Amino acid sequence: MITSSQEYQEFLAGIAETAPSVLKMRIPTYEPVYEIDLNTRRISPPPFIGVEGDHEAEYIYFQVDRYFDGLDLSNAIGLVVFKNAKGEEYYQIIPYYDIYSIEGKIIFPWIVQAPAALYGGQVSFSVKFF
């Protein structure tokens, strides 16, 4: 599908209206936090993201450098873009950032929603900031 420049700008403006909150999170000690390396564009992925049919049953936590190429990513809108097992593509806005727990890092959750777990199988995802 081809999106016009105007449609894309309107889409981004709509997302920007829901800027993430900044807060200090209390992550359960048994929950792993997966590293995102902005230089190599690699994510340490979780072994699974949920059970078929789940909706908001899993929180997956990620950690990323707060500053990249002179930009403070805590001022950016973050998206988790994913394809479910049938190849259907969706996105979720990152709802909030923790910039207080680890100096120079951002920790954020991906709250896995139903479209990611509609079907059993592999889910691919990426994280984007703008």
**3-state DSSP of the chain:** CCCCHHHHHHHHHHHHCCCCEECCCCCCCCCCEEEEECCCCEECCCCCCCCCCCCCCEEEEEEEECEECCEEHHHCCEEEEEECCCCCEEEEECCEEECCCCCCEEEEEEEECHHHHCCCCCCEEEEEEC
Structural domain range at position 100 = 20-129
Distance (Å, whole) CA 71 – CA 10: 23
Residue 16, pLDDT score: 58
Q: Which of 129, 108, 127, 126 is nearest to 21 (CA)?
A: 108
Q: How many residues does the chain have?
A: 130
Distance (Å, whole) CA 36 – CA 71: 16
Residue 55 lies in a domain: yes
Residue 118 lies in a domain: yes
Residue 97, pLDDT score: 93
How confident is the prediction along the chain (130 residues), in pLDDT tens digits per residue? 577 888 877 776 666 565 567 777 788 888 999 999 999 999 988 888 878 877 777 899 999 999 999 999 999 999 999 999 999 999 999 999 999 999 999 999 999 999 998 898 999 999 999 8
Residue 8 lies in a domain: no
Distance (Å, whole) CA 92 – CA 125: 11
What's the domain count of the chain? 1
Q: What pTM was estimated for this model as a whole?
A: 0.80
Asked if 80 and 110 touch (Cβ cutoff 8 Å), the reply is: yes
User: For residues 101, 103, 104 and 107, what is the CA-based torsion angle, rounded to 10 degrees?
Assistant: -10
